[in-house]
Structure 1
Amino acid sequence: MTKQLPTSAQVVIVGGGVIGCSVAYHLTRLGFTDVVLLERRTLTCGTTWHAAGLVPTLRATYNMSMLANYSASLYEQLEAETGQATGFVRNGSLTVATNKERLAELKRGASMAKVAGFPCDVISPEQAKEMWPLLNTDDLLGAIHLPMDGMASPVDVTQALAKGARMGGAQIFENCKVLDIKTRDGKASGVVTELGDIDAEYVVNCAGMWAREFGRKAGVNVPLHAAEHFYVVTENMPDLQHGLPTLRDMDGYCYYKEDAGKLLVGMFEPGAKPWGMKGIPEDFHFDQLPDDFEHLEPYLEAAMHRVPLLEQTGLQVFFNGPEAFTPDDRYHLGEAPELRNYFVAAGFNSVGIQSAGGAGKMLAEWIHKGHAPRDLWDVDIRRNMPFQGTQDYLYDRTTESLGLLYETHFPFKQFKTARGVRRSVLHDQLKAQGAVFGSENGWERANWFADEGQTPEYEYSFGRQNWFGNNKAEHEAVRNSVGVMDQSSFCKYQVEGPDAEKFLNRICSNNVAVPVGKMVYTQWLNERGGIEADVTVTRLADDRYLVVSGVACQTRDMDWLRRHKEDHMVVLTDMTSAYAVVTVMGPNARKTLSKITKADLSHEGFPFATSREIDMHYAMVRASRITYVGELGWELYIPTEYAPSVYDAVMEAGEEFGIRPYGYHTMNSLRMEKCYRHWGHDITDEDTVLEAGLSFASDFEKEGGFIGKEALLEQKAQGPLTKRFVAFVFENPEPLCYHEEPIWADGKIVGRTTAGMFCHTVGATVAMGYVERPEGVVKDWLDSAHFEIEVECERYTVKPSLRSVFDPTMEKIKC
Structure 2
Amino acid sequence: MQDLPSSARVVIIGGGISGCSVAYHLAELGWTDIVLLERKQLTCGTTWHAAGLVGQLRASQNMTRLAKYSADLYRRLEAETGLATGFSQRGSMTVALTAARREELLRQASMARAFGVEVNELTPAQVKSLYPHLETRDVVSGVHLPGDGQADPANIALALAKGARMRGARIQEGVKVTRVTTDRGRVTGVDWQADGETGHIAATHVVNCGGMWGRDLAAQNGVTLPLHACEHFYIVTEGIPGLAQFPVLRVPDECAYYKEDAGKILLGAFEPVAKPWGMSGIREDFCFDQLPEDLDHFEPILEKAVARMPILAETGIHTFFNGPESFTPDDRYYLGEAPGLQGYWVAAGYNSIGIVSSGGAGMALARWMDKGEPPFDLWEVDIRRAQPFQRNRRYLRERVTETLGLLYADHFPYRQMATARGLRRSPLHEHLKSQGAVFGEVAGWERANWFASGDQPRAYDYAWGRQNWFENSAAEHRAMREGVGLLDMTSFGKIRVEGRDALPFLQRLCGNDLAVEPGRIVYTQMLNDRGGIESDLTVTRLAENAFLLVVPGATLQRDLAWLRRHVDAEFVTITDVSAAEAVIPVMGPRSRDLLSLVSPDDFSDAAHPFGVAREIEIGLGLARAHRISYVGELGWELYVSTEQAAHVFETLTEAGTDLGLRLCGLHAMDSCRIEKAYRHFGHDITDEDHVLEAGLGFAVKPAKGDFFGRDAVLRKRDAGLTRRLLQFRLSDPSPLLFHNEPILRDGRIVGQITSGAYGHTLQGAIGLGYVPCRTDETAAEMLASDYRIEVAGQSFAAEASLKPLYDPQSQRVLG
Q: TM-score, normalised by structure 2?
A: 0.99
SS of match in other structure, 2:703: coil
| 1:707-737 C-alpha deviation (Å, 9 max, x unpaired) | 1001110111113x11111101111111101
Q: Give the Cα–Cα distance (whole angstroms) in 2 for the partners of residues 571 and 157 of structure 1.
A: 47
1:281 partner amino acid = R
- Rounded Cα–Cα distance in structure 2 between residues aligned with 1:686 and 1:118: 21
Alignment partner for residue 203 of structure 1, among 202, 206, 210? 206
Q: CA deviation at 1:771?
A: 0.9
Question: What is the aligned partner in structure 1 of residue 810 from structure 2?
Answer: 810
Deviations 1:192-228 (A, max 9, x none): 1114211112100001110001111222111000000
DSSP-derived class of the 1:547 partner: strand
Q: Indicate if the aligned counterparts of 1:65 and 1:116 stay in contact, CA closer than 8 A.
A: yes
Matched, 1:379 2:381: yes
Corresponding letter in the other structure for 1:798 = A
Please name the residue that 2:237 is paired with: 234
- C-alpha displacement at 1:310, in angstroms? 1.2
Once the two structures are superposed, what CA deviation does each residue of 1:220-242 show, in whole Å capped at 9, x if it has no partner? 1110000000000011122532x
Counterpart in 2 of 1:782? Answer: 782
| Number of the residue aligned with 2:463 | 461
Contact kept in structure 2, 1:722 and 1:777, CA below 8 Å: no
Counterpart Cα distance in 2 of 1:334 and 1:576: 24
1:502 to 501, 504, 518: 504
Q: Does 2:521 align with 1:522?
A: no
Bigger mean CA offset, 264-273 vs 192-201: 192-201
**Structure 1 Cα separation of the partners of residues 90 and 349 of structure 2:** 27
User: How far off its partner does 1:643 sit?
Assistant: 0.7
Deviations along 1:453-509, whole A, 9 cap, x unmatched?
Answer: 111110001111010100111111110100000110010011111111111111111
- Structure 1 gap segments, 5+ residues each: none
Q: Which amino acid aligns with 2:214?
A: A
**In 2 relative to 1, CA 44–776 (structure 1 residues): closer, same or farther, beyond 3 Å?**
farther
Gaps of 5+ in 2: none
Displacement of 1:777 after TM fit?
A: 5.4
* 1:357-372 pair list within 5 angstroms: 357-372=359-374
1:59 and 1:504 map into 2 onto residues whose CA distance is 37
Aligned match of 2:312: 310
8 Å contact from structure 1 (residues 521, 535) kept in 2: yes
1:363 to partner: Cα distance: 0.4
SS for the counterpart of 1:256 is strand
The match for 2:175 is 176
Tell me which residue corresponds to 2:611.
609
Instruction: Report if the CA contact (8 A) 1:383-1:556 is conserved.
Output: yes
* 1:85 counterpart residue number: 84
Q: Which residue of 2 aligns with 1:188?
A: 187
Tell me how far apart the structure 2 counterparts of residues 260 and 497 of structure 1 sit (CA, whole Å). 67
Which residue does 2:800 correspond to in 1?
800
Q: Which residue number corresponds to residue 423 of structure 1? A: 425
Q: CA deviation at 1:306?
A: 1.3
User: For residues 388 and 183 of structure 1, what CA distance do their matches in structure 2 show?
Assistant: 23
Q: 1:439: which partner in 2? A: 441
Q: Deviations over 1:16-36 (max 9, x none)?
A: 000000000000111112211
Contact 1:134 1:240 in 2 (8 A): no
Is the Cα–Cα contact under 8 Å of residues 613 and 625 in structure 2 kept in the other structure?
yes
Find the aligned partners of 1:407 and 1:145 in 2 and give their Cα distance: 19
> How many percent of aligned residue pairs carry the same amino acid?
54
Kindly indicate whether residue 523 of structure 2 is the aligned counterpart of residue 532 of structure 1. Answer: no
The residue identity in structure 2 corresponding to 1:518 is: R
Whether contact under 8 Å (2:719, 2:775) holds in the other structure is no
Matches within 5 A, 1:437-586: 437-586=439-588
Alignment of 1:288-367 (within 5 A): 288-367=290-369
Using the TM superposition, give the Cα deviation of residue 778 of structure 1 relative to its aligned residue in structure 2, in angstroms. Answer: 3.4
Pair 1:777–1:374, CA change in 2 (3 A): farther
Match of 2:217 in 1: 214
**In 2: Cα distance, 1:271 partner to 1:621 partner:** 45
Q: Counterpart of 1:772 in structure 2: which amino acid? A: P
* 1:72-128 superposed Cα distances (whole Å, 9 cap, x missing partner): 000001101111110101010010000111111111111111121111111101100
Structure 2 residue 53 is the aligned partner of structure 1 residue 60: no
Tell whether the 8 Å contact from 2:127 to 2:142 is kept in structure 1 after alignment: yes
Q: Residue 578 of structure 2: SS of its match in structure 1?
A: coil
Shift of 1:185: 2.7
Aligned equivalents of 1:783 and 1:226: distance in 2?
51
- Does 1:713 find its partner at 2:714? yes
Query: Could you say which residue in structure 2 is the equivalent of 1:685?
Result: 687
Q: CA deviation at 1:567?
A: 1.6
Cα distance in 1 for residues equivalent to 2:757 and 2:782: 21
Write the distance in 2 (CA, Å) between the matches of 1:589 and 1:239.
Answer: 74
| Residue deviations 1:612-631 (CA, integer Å, cap 9, x gap) | 01110011100000000000
| 8 Å Cα contact 2:291-2:322 kept in structure 1 | yes
Q: Using the TM superposition, give the Cα deviation of residue 781 of structure 1 relative to its aligned residue in structure 2, in angstroms.
A: 2.4
Secondary structure in 2 matching 1:538: strand
Amino acid at match of 1:712: V
Partner-residue secondary structure (3-state), 2:326? strand
Task: Give the residue type in structure 1 aligned to 2:60.
Answer: T
Aligned residue type for 1:799: E
Q: 1:240 to 1:429 in 2, by over 3 A?
A: same
Query: 1:568: how far off?
Result: 1.1
Q: Deviations over 1:311-367 (max 9, x none)?
A: 222111000000000000000000000210110000001111000110000000000
Query: What is aligned with 1:592?
Result: 594
- Aligned equivalents of 1:672, 1:254: Cα separation in 2: 38
Distance in 2 (CA, whole Å) between partners of 1:777 and 1:262 is 58
CA shift digits 1:604-656 (9 cap, x unpaired): 11100010011100111000000000000000000011111111111122211
CA contact (8 A) 2:66 2:360 kept: yes
Matched position secondary structure for 2:100: helix
> Secondary structure, in 3 states, of the residue corresponding to 2:715?
helix
CA contact (8 A) 2:729 2:766 kept: yes
RMSD, matched Cα: 1.0
The separation in 2 between residues aligned to 1:619 and 1:386, in whole angstroms, is 32
User: Aligned partners of 2:679 and 2:370: how far apart in 1?
Assistant: 31
Aligned residues: 811
Counterpart amino acid of 1:455?
Answer: P
The one-letter amino acid of 1:196's match is G
- Distance, in Å, in 2 between the alignment partners of 1:306 and 1:229 is 21
Cα-to-partner distance string for 1:515-550 (whole Å, 9 max, x where unaligned): 111100000001111101111111111111111011
Who is 1:769 aligned against?
769
| Alpha carbons 2:256, 2:268 under 8 Å: kept | yes
Determine the C-alpha separation between the residues in 2 that align with 1:429 and 1:319: 49
Mapped to 2, the partners of 1:481 and 1:49 lie a distance apart of: 61
What CA distance in whole angstroms lies between the structure 2 residues aligned with 1:442 and 1:14?
29
1:426-467 per-residue CA deviation (whole Å, 9 max, x = no partner) reads: 001101110000011000000000011111110001111010
| Secondary structure of 1:422 counterpart | coil
Q: 2: distance between equivalents of 1:152 and 1:767?
A: 38
Q: Write the letter of the residue equivalent to 1:710.
A: D
Query: Within 2, Cα distance between the matches of 1:776 and 1:626?
Result: 35
Indicate conservation of the 8 Å contact 2:773/2:782, yes or no.
Answer: no
CA distance in 1, matches of 2:517, 2:485: 30
Q: What's 1:411 paired with?
A: 413
Task: Determine if contact 1:38/1:176 at 8 Å carries over to the other structure.
Answer: yes
Partner of 2:723: 723
